[in-house]
Amino acid sequence: MSRFSDYISQQSGDLWHVFVTELKRIVRDPGVVLIFFIAGLGYPIVYNLIYWNDTLTDVPVAVVDMDNSPESRRFLHDWEATPDVKISYICYSMQEAELLMKQQKIHGILYIPSDYSRALQTAGAQAHISIYADMSSFLYMKAVYMSANMVMLDEMHNVQIDRYERMGMDDQTAWTLVQGIPYEPVTLFNPDGGYSTFLIPAMLIMILHQTLFFGIGMLAGTAREENETLYFLPNRKRRRSVFRIIGGRALAYFVVYLGITAIDLLLVPRLFHLPHVGNPLTIMSFAIPFLLATIFFSMTVSLTVRNRETGMVTLLATTLIMFFITGVSWPQELLPKFWLYLSYLIPATWGIHGFLHINTMGANLTIAALQYHALWGLAAMYGLLATGGLWLQGYLYEQRQAAKQAAELPDASLQNTDHIVTT
């Protein structure tokens, strides 16, 4: 029993030694402090400040009304009544409106042809309008197009009702034919249609993922430059203690990032009025496997990092790709199979979807079970890969050292022989 207690004490002592040493390396490295604390806490605030006004209002537009009828004026009145656009110019030709667009004085054009009112009053005819939007920004296009589309749908109902009334129907019968089932559209989880409401919650997870990934890569690169392929335990224990080395380092990263994660995922959404309907305890419970999976994923990749600068190059080369294939900015169903399967190996993919389900949609861990269990699986897989990779590096290091010593022995024997002969 005493020997077992001594063994446990030794193991825990080694783990504690690695944990404390890694914490010291984190706080003593200005670059890692910048990535972990300044970027990890500052980026969510900066992104929210950039997208503070996440919906555009009063976008300046121009109108080319070639019909100039009561019907066309009614359409324009209803369009300007929306909060999205503001009619700043009335033009008499498309050339004039296009010039304003090129000068960036407007961001949209609405063209009404001369037969607009006649087509509305003719049974079986179809009226046309044309919308031209500034595609230099998605938000301009969204404001111009969506507002015109809503007015157009409302105008279609009015036209149908007018035609039924001219056929002798009363208002109630005409309205029933136009809209048999009354409905009211409700936008779930993003009622304002805002860009930050859609983007920032996903970016919070990506920021945590990439700052951890970059910081761990920098620490690994520094260790390679300092010849610490296997570090923090005496030489005789290193290769036999890879579990304690991996566990101690992972525990240090986890302790540091648990507080950062709580601030980013719990405080920031409330501070900037982002969706935050999820249970805080559920969010942090989900964050545990996400952090572990990200830590072990980063430690596995960091085995290939040879210098400090490699981490920066890796970060710049992978951030946009990782965010794109997570399925937030582009549906995963439309991704090629290779990129889809690759996204399953990245903890951020499961972390983003699970966090959106919990934080934005109010799901619990039972509903987000797929993402939750996938993160635990990735944590186990990358934990084993990081451990095996470190053990292999230790084995190869010992082989090189043994070969180097064997190569030096003949030289030493030859020098001794020469000395004897000379003497």
**Radius of gyration for the alpha carbons in the chain, expressed in angstroms and rounded:** 32
Task: Name the pLDDT band for 303 (thresholds 50, 70, 90).
Answer: confident
Same domain, 330 and 202: yes
Q: In the listed set 144, 178, 212, which residue is the last one of a domain according to the structure?
A: 178
Distance between CA atoms of residues 111 and 102, nearest Å: 17
Average pLDDT of 360-378? 95
Average pLDDT of 3-22? 69
Domain that holds residue 87: 59-178
Q: Residue 107's pLDDT is what?
A: 93
Average pLDDT of 320-342? 88
Signed CA dihedral, 226, 231, 232, 235: sign only: negative
Residue 128 domain-assigned (yes or no): yes
Residue 118 domain-assigned (yes or no): yes
Distance between CA atoms of residues 111 and 88, nearest Å: 14
Same domain, 87 and 146: yes
Task: Name the pLDDT band for 297 (thresholds 50, 70, 90).
Answer: very high
Residue 123 domain-assigned (yes or no): yes
Same domain, 174 and 208: no
Task: Name the pLDDT band for 181 (thresholds 50, 70, 90).
Answer: low
Residue type, 272: F
If one counts the domains in the chain, the total is 2
User: Which pair of structure tokens corresponds to residue 270?
Assistant: 């409330």
Q: Which residue has the tokens 């496997």?
A: 289
Q: Are 297 and 213 in contact (CB under 8 A)?
A: yes
Residue 183 domain-assigned (yes or no): no
Residue 6 domain-assigned (yes or no): no
**Mean pLDDT of all residues in the chain?**
84
Q: Lowest-confidence range among 184-188, 218-222, 291-295, 355-359?
A: 184-188
Same domain, 126 and 238: no
Q: Residue 251's pLDDT is what?
A: 95
Q: In the listed set 178, 212, 244, which residue is the last one of a domain according to the structure?
A: 178
Same domain, 323 and 402: yes
Same domain, 340 and 400: yes
Residue 318 domain-assigned (yes or no): yes
Average pLDDT of 41-48? 92
Q: Lowest-confidence range among 99-103, 218-222, 293-297?
A: 218-222
Same domain, 361 and 274: yes
Same domain, 209 and 331: yes
Distance between CA atoms of residues 298 and 102, nearest Å: 47
Residue 56 confidence (pLDDT) above 60: yes
Average pLDDT of 251-280? 94
Same domain, 242 and 128: no
Distance between CA atoms of residues 101 and 109, nearest Å: 8
98-102, 126-130, 228-232, 272-276 — most confident range: 98-102
Tally of CB atoms within 10 A around 176:
14
Distance between CA atoms of residues 116 and 421, nearest Å: 114
Question: pLDDT digit string (tens) for 106-165?
Answer: 999 999 999 888 888 777 778 889 999 988 888 888 889 889 988 888 887 777 777 777
Tally of CB atoms within 10 A around 404:
9
Nearest to 196 by CA among 303, 46, 332: 46
Residue 309 confidence (pLDDT) above 70: yes
Distance between CA atoms of residues 69 and 116, nearest Å: 8
**Share of residues in the chain with pLDDT > 90 (%):** 43
Same domain, 167 and 308: no
Same domain, 287 and 400: yes
Residue 1 domain-assigned (yes or no): no
C-alpha torsion 382→385→389→392, nearest 10: 160
Residue 10 confidence (pLDDT) above 50: yes
Q: Residue 421's pLDDT is what?
A: 41
Question: pLDDT digit string (tens) for 75-90?
Answer: 999 999 999 999 999 9
Q: Lowest-confidence range among 149-153, 172-176, 232-236, 344-348?
A: 232-236
Residue 14 confidence (pLDDT) above 80: no
Nearest to 112 by CA among 163, 146, 62, 158: 62
User: Which pair of structure tokens corresponds to residue 99?
Assistant: 């010039």
Q: Say which CATH number the domain at 143 has.
A: 3.40.1710.10
Task: Name the pLDDT band for 420 (thresholds 50, 70, 90).
Answer: very low
Same domain, 261 and 340: yes
Q: Residue 423's pLDDT is what?
A: 35
Residue 2 domain-assigned (yes or no): no
